[in-house]
Structure 1
Amino acid sequence: MNLDKYRREHADIIRHVQELKKLTALGIAGQAAAIAREVIAMSSVIKLHLSVEDRFLYPALQEAGAALAAKGRQYQEEMADIAAQYGRFSRQWNDAQRIAEQPEGFRADANRVLKILFDRISRENRDFYPLIEAT
């Protein structure tokens, strides 16, 4: 199975996370509009990525043998919680005025949710995708 598309989307998501870090370092309140735009842009990539995984990757893994099917179900179930957390984050922080009014709330949520997202992407790239390719 060719996972290059998934890896490219992961790299795109990580670029958005890095851009949010840069904007935050410049000052949350002053960069609120750019931060909100970045959250919206990243959300589009994440929604597309999750949709493609659910429609193609995970169903294909169900046909790839019991061990890989079980691992795929585990990753999919874990992702449901991460996606819900990210969804709440993106709905809360896609508004520049809200970000400007609550910069420390944004910072706390971003640090928590984006770390979870980054860790998950890293684990998929390091552990899950090589397992799929080896099968």
Structure 2
Amino acid sequence: MDIERFKQQHVEILDGIAGLRRYAHAGVQEHAHEIARLVSALSSTVKLHLAVEDRILYPSLQKGGDPHLAAMGHAYQEDMKGIASEYIAFSRRWSNVAALQAHAEAFRKEANAVLKTLYLRMCRENTEFYPAIEAA
């Protein structure tokens, strides 16, 4: 199975997280417009990635002949449900410039938690899940 598209989307997501981190460190209120724009852009990429995984990757693994990969895919899909809902709520809340300017510390706190979870998930997929798929 060719998973290059998924890997490229991971690069885009990780770049978006790094950009949000840079702006947050430089000042949430001062960079609220850039942060809101980046949150929206990252959200589009994350949603597209999740949709393609759900429509193509996971079903392919379930229909494939490898029970280990099917089980791994199912576990990753189930795990992502909670992460996805947290991220979507985060992106809705923080794609608004006024909210960022009014609640900079709340953004920092939530971004640290939600983006760290997303980052760690991408790293796990890159080091465990995708190599297992490519090896099959």
Q: Which runs of 4+ in 1 moved over 2 A?
A: none
Aligned length: 135
Provide the rounded CA distance (Å) in 2 between the counterparts of 1:18 and 1:68: 30
The CA deviation string for residues 17-41 of structure 1, in whole angstroms up to 9 with x for no partner, is: 1111111111111111110010000
Provide the rounded CA distance (Å) in 1 between the counterparts of 2:69 and 2:123: 19
* Structure 2 residue aligned with 1:126: 127
* Structure 1 residue aligned with 2:59: 59
- Unpaired stretches in structure 2, ≥5 consecutive residues: none
Provide the rounded CA distance (Å) in 1 between the counterparts of 2:17 and 2:135: 29
Question: Aligned AA for 1:72?
Answer: G
- Unpaired stretches in structure 1, ≥5 consecutive residues: none
* Structure 1 residue aligned with 2:106: 105
Provide the rounded CA distance (Å) in 2 between the counterparts of 1:129 and 1:112: 24
User: Cα RMSD (Å) of the superposition?
Assistant: 0.7
Residues 112-121 or 62-71, more deviating: 62-71
Provide the rounded CA distance (Å) in 1 between the counterparts of 2:94 and 2:62: 36
Deviation at 1:76, TM superposition (A): 0.2
TM-score (normalised: structure 2): 0.97
Provide the rounded CA distance (Å) in 2 between the counterparts of 1:114 and 1:43: 12
- SS of structure 2 residue aligned to 1:30: coil
TM-score (normalised: structure 1): 0.98
